[in-house]
């Protein structure tokens, strides 16, 4: 399967993350059918064809860290968008995954 098909699956998964919740890059990769492709999830989100419609701000690193290269305004903007949705933070740059992680695909 080509990269375009994977990117489309990533966008489909990310569109399902509810407001007020986050998913990790690895979680999105697994739900998109390629569990070892977390880095490619980042590439897909960086190329988001519909900013504002595909909520890429809801995807964070496995430790809850915000994306330093958040393509749509940097980590400060990512944090603002998440806070506006009620996402809890455990410190300046990390989401509280225990409180706000989307449970889809998590065991």
Catalytic residues: 56
Residue count (the chain): 107
Half-sphere exposure of 23 (CA within 13 A, CB side): 28
Cβ 1 vs Cβ 86: under 8 Å: no
Which one, of 83, 103, 105, lies nearest residue 94 by Cα? 83
Helix H, strand E, coil C: the string for 39-53 is HHHHHHHHCCCCECC
Structural tokens at position 61: 């690193």
């Amino acid at each position: 399967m080509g990269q375009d098909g994977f990117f489309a699956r990533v966008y489909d998964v990310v569109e399902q993350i509810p407001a007020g919740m986050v998913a990790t890059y690895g979680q999105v990769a697994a739900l998109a059918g390629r569990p070892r492709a977390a880095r490619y999830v980042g590439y897909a989100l960086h190329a988001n064809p519909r900013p504002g419609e595909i909520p890429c701000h809801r995807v964070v690193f496995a430790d809850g860290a915000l994306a330093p290269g958040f393509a749509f305004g940097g980590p400060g903007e990512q944090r603002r968008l998440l806070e506006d949705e009620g996402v809890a933070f455990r410190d300046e740059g990390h989401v509280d995954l225990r409180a706000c992680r989307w449970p889809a695909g998590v065991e």
